Amino acid sequence: MSGYAVVDPATGETVQTYPTITDDALAAAVAGANDTFRTWSRRTSVAERAALIARVAELHLERQDALAAIITREMGKPTGDAIGEIQFSAAIYQYYADNATTFLADEPIELMGGEGSAIVRKSPLGVLLGIMPWNFPYYQVARFAGPNLIIGNPVLLKHAPQCPESAAAIEQIYLDAGFPAGAYTNIYASNDQVATIIANPVVQGVSLTGSERAGAAVAEIAGRHLKKVVLELGGCDPFILLSTDDLDAVVQQATFARVDNCGQACNAAKRFIVIDSLYDEFLDKFTASVLATKQGNPTDPDIAIGPLSSLAAADRLSAQVQAAVDGGATIVSAGERSGAFFPPAVLTGMTKSNPSYNEELFGPVAIVHKVSSEDEAIDLANDTPFGLGSYLFTTDPDQAARVADAIQAGMVYVNIVGADSPELPFGGVKRSGSGRELGRWGADEFVNKKLIRVGA
């Protein structure tokens, strides 16, 4: 039985199911990707492949309404947010189309001695496997597949089981843009089949965005077969407030940082660490703001957040929140859960002994902490197994530099939220993963940095 299905989280209706790929079809897909690498990838230039990615960007924009409707059905993303994701994905594709020639240019090396010359030439590794999550179905694919197809690495893409319709739509875009069969292949693979793909000697690397558990499983298999991995996993990102001239503006940004995408973003702010002199006022205003966030059917243009992605996701979050309350935390909620609709809420009194203290709450539930000093804020921010993103608000530039340097995370945003952009690297440290996507760094993970040394 296939696990691939579109189940509308707003209604619980199973819209359509999709069959898992057969082993024979999977073997053919891997072989076809390798054939494309040996022929098309090696016979086309970076500029030619970049032109095709630019067409992929155009097709995303041309089809944005239909693409948005798909992910609203699949994972409950409000229509306006879905359009925004598609436009951001198009911007990522266009960014790599515009900059690929520069990113992949030969790099000369100044020799310390001897005659002749030396360069580093970036060339493709070969077939790659991408394993993508449900929370940003187009964006996650764009930041992996865009640069790698320009590099010349054919892509096998295993999407989340609840995103089969968007997965097929993306593959069709690549074909319609002019990519040959085998350059980008959508595969509805099972977990067991994923293991066989990673083990296949044709496949040269794996990029996964998902949970810690999935990342550990994939990294273990990849390690046994000496395959490179890029992992973008969970996060429990701190939002540190040490000083401000405009608390209302900070509250507005803090609310967005927690409830955007219904709180289902790995780099969303989840723990709000507030200096004691601002704590009470911030907590009052922030709680009111979070609870006032309008929730409803994702097709309603007046709502800010829709349902969680599935009943299972709501069940997991319910269990975590209940464990937090049972462990001594206090909750203020906007209401009662209804199916996959989880009401926004704020937790306080979260101590280190609480079972949910170090867990990622994937939904519109914020945790607020009080601290008495900058050092205490840093220690609390770093007291997590995760290290993806972080947010810092202060009016003191020297303090901003100190704290940003001390935070153990892959990204620090100072006095700003929602500032992701194609040119900025994305990735984390600790249990949030390894490697980077986006920016020039995203075009530097799966390449052969080949030294060519020429004598006199």
Which two three-digit tokens encode residue 271? Answer: 């723990």
pLDDT value at residue 114: 84
Question: Which of 86, 87, 79 lies closest to 10 in space, CA to CA?
Answer: 79
pLDDT value at residue 2: 60
Query: Tens of pLDDT along 217-257?
Result: 999 999 999 999 999 999 999 999 999 999 999 999 999 99
Residue 132: strand, helix, or coil: coil
- Cα 351 to its chain centre, rounded Å, is 29
Catalytic residue (one of 232, 359, 360, 445): 232
Q: Residue 211: how many CA atoms within 13 Å on its side-chain side?
A: 10
CA dist., res. 249 & res. 279, Å (int): 15
Please say if 262 is a catalytic residue: no
Catalytic residue (one of 163, 165, 266, 360): 266
> In 13-80, at which residue ranges do the beta strands (DSSP E only) sit?
14-18
Q: Which residues contact 341 (CB under 8 A, 6 or more apart)?
A: 10, 295, 306, 307, 308, 314
Query: Tens of pLDDT along 323-374?
Result: 999 999 999 999 999 999 999 999 999 999 999 999 999 999 999 999 999 9
Sign of CA pseudo-dihedral 354, 360, 361, 364:
positive
CA dist., res. 151 & res. 153, Å (int): 6
Whether residue 133 contacts residue 209, with contact meaning beta carbons closer than 8 Å, is answered with yes
Q: What is the pTM of this model?
A: 0.97
Query: Is the pLDDT reported for residue 174 higher than 50?
Result: yes
* DSSP state for residue 426 in the 8-state scheme: B
Please say if 236 is a catalytic residue: no
pLDDT value at residue 446: 98
Whether residue 261 contacts residue 77, with contact meaning beta carbons closer than 8 Å, is answered with yes
Please give the domain boundaries of the chain with CATH numbers for all domains: 4-232 (3.40.605.10), 237-422 (3.40.309.10)
Query: Left, alpha or beta for 54 (phi > 0: left; psi -120 to 50: alpha)?
Result: alpha
Query: Tens of pLDDT along 57-87?
Result: 999 999 999 999 999 999 999 999 999 999 9
Q: Averaged over 14-21, what is the pLDDT?
A: 97
Pairing of strands 433-434, 107-108: unpaired
* DSSP state for residue 22 in the 8-state scheme: P
Query: Tens of pLDDT along 264-303?
Result: 999 999 999 999 999 999 999 999 999 999 999 999 999 9
The average confidence (pLDDT) of the chain is 97
pLDDT value at residue 234: 94
Provide the percentage of residues in the chain whose pLDDT is more than 70: 100
Segment holding 229, helix H or strand E: strand 228-232
Whether residue 169 contacts residue 67, with contact meaning beta carbons closer than 8 Å, is answered with yes
